[in-house]
């Protein structure tokens, strides 16, 4: 036995695997014969015994790695104050590392079991199977490591709004594509470059068959790379029934939770090829726009009388504006110099009142646009548009504040001698006599 060990040691040192195999086989064959096994049978089963022995050693090494080494690493990781190592060195990542131990040992030692077939196709095929398994396990290890890194960064506040999941899937797809090319090249015993050249010829067919998948993949990369969409964004796509918060962005799907708690799943290429509205900039600004109009009955618009001016002068918001007008007498006559006299109108004073009221309101953003304007008159009267921003972006308080403001607007309209138009017009109906 000592001679065999010395021979094996020298052969391993010189990289002579065949000599190692011959020495081991001779010792196994001698042991079987001394145990009473016929020489013919000893020659037939010695290869199998050595192979089983190699497999047993590999499995034992794998068991030691999983039961002892991994537990030691887990205890060491738990003792550290950092949390990222708990995720990176989690059970899934380390298990994939341990799974590579056995196939690597088998790949290295399997020529020892077949020294007389060192150049045979069978041995070459077995080693290629081991190599493929090693590559597959290595790919799973890298993928699990990518996932762990994703979990580390997604838990950080500065990365929560980044499309990390899309980037993770992109990296995993590229990884497995490269791995598939390498595995196929090993099976067919060709260079990966040759395989890629062959794939180029069939690219048109692949694009036709997998058109939707390729479009989704490319669009997902565009969404992630250009930061067009993030988890937590509020988007609207009425054409596809999407109006809510983005809950997931992947390479193949974008999930939107609508305000009624339904979930809409959209392919990424729809978001790239079609238009959608992203409300995130509004949320970030801290102000939400209000753009609504009330329709004034045109027949109620008139010049202000002294009584009206007297009543309006008691309104604090109008004092500065009314001071620019000379106090008129009675309502101007048809033949008076009305074209050259700045007579105030009830609708003009009302417009100024609305502007001053909005600028004095506590919940209206003063640093953003505030405007009250007349739009083109229609058959429904004169639209008076209020355009301003509220100091809130949340839906419920936004609707409440908007309603409170327009409650005030509608209630104050009659105080200016105006009427809100509604169909059928009240004045038109009242003028009719049955």
Written in H, E and C, the secondary structure of the chain is: CHHHHHHHHHHHHHCCHHHHHHHHHHHHHHHHHHCCCCHHHHHHHHHHHHHHHHHHHHHHHHHHHHHHHHHHHHHHHHHCCCCHHHHHCCHHHHHHHHCCHHHHHHHHHHHHHCHHHCCCHHHHHHHHHHHHHHHHHHHHHHHHHHHHHHHHHHCCHHHCCCCHHHHHHHHHHHHHHHHHHHHHHHHCCCCHHHHHHHHHHCHHHHHHHCHHHHHHHHHHHHHHHCCCCCCCCEEEEHHHCEEEEEEEECCCCEEEEECCCCEEEECHHHHHHCCCEECHHHHHHCCEEEEEEEEECHHHCCECCHHHHHHHCCCHHHHHHHCCCCCCCCCCCCCCCHHHCCCCEHHHHHHHHHHHHHHHCCCECCCCCCEEEECCCECCEEEEEEEEEECCCCHHHHHHHHHHHHHHHHHHHHHHCCCECCCCCHHHHHHCCC
Relative to beta strand 382-390, strand 371-374 is: antiparallel
Average pLDDT estimate for 169-176: 79
Q: What pLDDT is attached to residue 154?
A: 75
For the segment 116-124, the average pLDDT, to the nearest whole number, is: 65
User: What pLDDT is stored for residue 69 in this prediction?
Assistant: 77
Would you say residue 367 lies in a domain? yes
From 108, 127, 160, give the residue that closes a domain: 160
Provide mean pLDDT across the span 49-62: 78
Question: What pLDDT does residue 59 have?
Answer: 83
Tell me the average pLDDT across 269-275. 82
Residue 377 — pLDDT band, cuts 50, 70, 90? very high
pLDDT tops 80 at residue 284: no
Q: What is the mean pLDDT of the chain?
A: 77
314-352, pLDDT tens digit by residue?
A: 888 888 888 776 554 444 554 455 556 667 889 999 999
Q: Which residue has the higher pLDDT, 174 or 1?
A: 174
Query: Do residues 393 and 289 touch, judged by C-beta distance below 8 A?
Result: no
**Strands 288-296 and 382-390, how do they pair?**
antiparallel
Q: Which of 24-28, 76-80, 399-403 has the lowest mean pLDDT?
A: 24-28
pLDDT of the residue at 124? 78
Res. 162: pLDDT tops 80 = no
Q: Does residue 262 form part of some domain?
A: no
> Among the three residues 160, 184, 215, which one is the final residue of a domain in this structure?
160
pLDDT of 237 > 80? The answer is: yes
Domain assignment present for residue 86? The answer is: yes
Is residue 356 pLDDT above 80, yes or no?
A: yes
Answer whether residue 34 is part of any domain.
yes
- Which has more confidence, 360 or 70? 360
Look up the domain containing 102 and give its range.
2-160
Structural domain contains residue 179: no
Q: Is the pLDDT of residue 23 over 80?
A: no
Q: How many domains does the chain have?
A: 2
> Is the pLDDT assigned to residue 179 strictly greater than 50?
yes
Q: Given pLDDT bands bounded at 50, 70 and 90, which one contains residue 252? A: confident
Is the peptide bond preceding residue 191 cis, with omega within 30 degrees of 0? no
Tens-digit pLDDT profile for residues 390-423: 998 888 899 999 999 999 999 999 999 999 988 7
Instruction: Kindly state whether residues 154 and 297 are assigned to the same domain.
Output: no
CATH number at residue 307: 3.30.70.100
Which comes out higher in pLDDT, residue 297 or 21? 297
Model confidence at 13: pLDDT above 80 = no
Indicate whether 342 belongs to any domain. Answer: yes
| Between 138 and 338, residue with greater pLDDT | 138
Higher pLDDT, 28 or 122: 122
Point out the least confidently predicted range of 149-158, 235-244, 329-338: 329-338
The residue behind tokens 């056995």 is 102
Domain assignment present for residue 93? The answer is: yes
Per the domain annotation, does 13 fall within a domain?
A: yes
Asked if the model's pLDDT at residue 168 lies above 70, the reply is yes
- Could you say which of 126, 160, 194 is where a domain stops? 160
């Amino acid at each position: 036995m000592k001679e065999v060990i010395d021979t094996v040691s020298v052969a391993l040192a010189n990289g002579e695997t065949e000599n190692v195999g011959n020495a081991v086989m001779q010792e196994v064959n001698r042991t079987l014969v001394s145990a009473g096994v016929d020489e013919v049978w000893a020659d037939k089963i010695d290869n199998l015994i050595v192979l089983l022995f190699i497999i047993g050693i590999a499995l034992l090494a794998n068991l030691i790695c999983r039961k002892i080494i991994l537990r030691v690493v887990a205890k060491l990781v738990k003792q550290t104050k950092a949390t990222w190592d708990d995720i990176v060195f989690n059970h899934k990542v380390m298990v994939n590392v341990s799974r590579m131990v056995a196939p690597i040992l088998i790949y290295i030692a399997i020529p020892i079991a077949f020294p007389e077939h060192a150049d045979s196709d069978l041995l070459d095929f077995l080693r290629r199977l081991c190599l493929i398994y090693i590559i597959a396990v290595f790919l799973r290890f890298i993928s699990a490591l990518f996932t762990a890194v994703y979990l580390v960064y997604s838990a950080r506040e500065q990365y929560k709004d980044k499309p990390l999941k899309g980037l993770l899937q992109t990296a995993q797809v590229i990884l497995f594509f490269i791995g598939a090319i390498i595995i196929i090249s090993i099976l067919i015993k060709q260079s990966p470059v040759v395989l890629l050249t062959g794939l180029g010829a069939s690219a048109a067919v692949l694009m036709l068959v997998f058109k939707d998948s390729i479009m989704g993949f490319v669009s997902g990369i565009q969404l992630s790379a250009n930061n067009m969409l993030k988890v937590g964004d509020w988007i609207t796509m009425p054409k596809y029934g999407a109006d809510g918060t983005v809950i997931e962005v992947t390479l193949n799907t974008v999930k939107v939770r609508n305000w009624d708690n339904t979930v809409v799943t959209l392919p990424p290429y729809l978001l790239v090829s079609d238009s959608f509205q992203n409300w995130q900039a509004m949320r970030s600004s801290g102000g939400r726009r209000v753009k609504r109009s009330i329709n004034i009955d045109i027949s109620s618009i008139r010049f202000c009388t002294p009584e009206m001016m007297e009543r309006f002068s008691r309104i604090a918001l109008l004092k500065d504006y009314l001071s620019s007008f000379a106090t008129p007498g009675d309502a101007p006559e048809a033949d008076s110099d009305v074209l050259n006299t700045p007579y105030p109108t009830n609708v003009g004073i009302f417009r100024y009142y609305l502007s001053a009221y909005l600028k004095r309101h506590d919940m209206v953003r003063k640093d953003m646009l505030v405007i009250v304007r007349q739009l083109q008159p229609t058959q429904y009267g004169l639209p008076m548009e209020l355009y301003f921003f509220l100091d809130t972006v949340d839906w419920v308080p936004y609707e409440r504040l908007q309603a409170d403001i327009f409650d005030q607007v509608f209630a104050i309209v009659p105080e200016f001698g105006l009427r809100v138009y509604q169909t059928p017009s009240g004045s038109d109906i009242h003028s009719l006599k049955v």
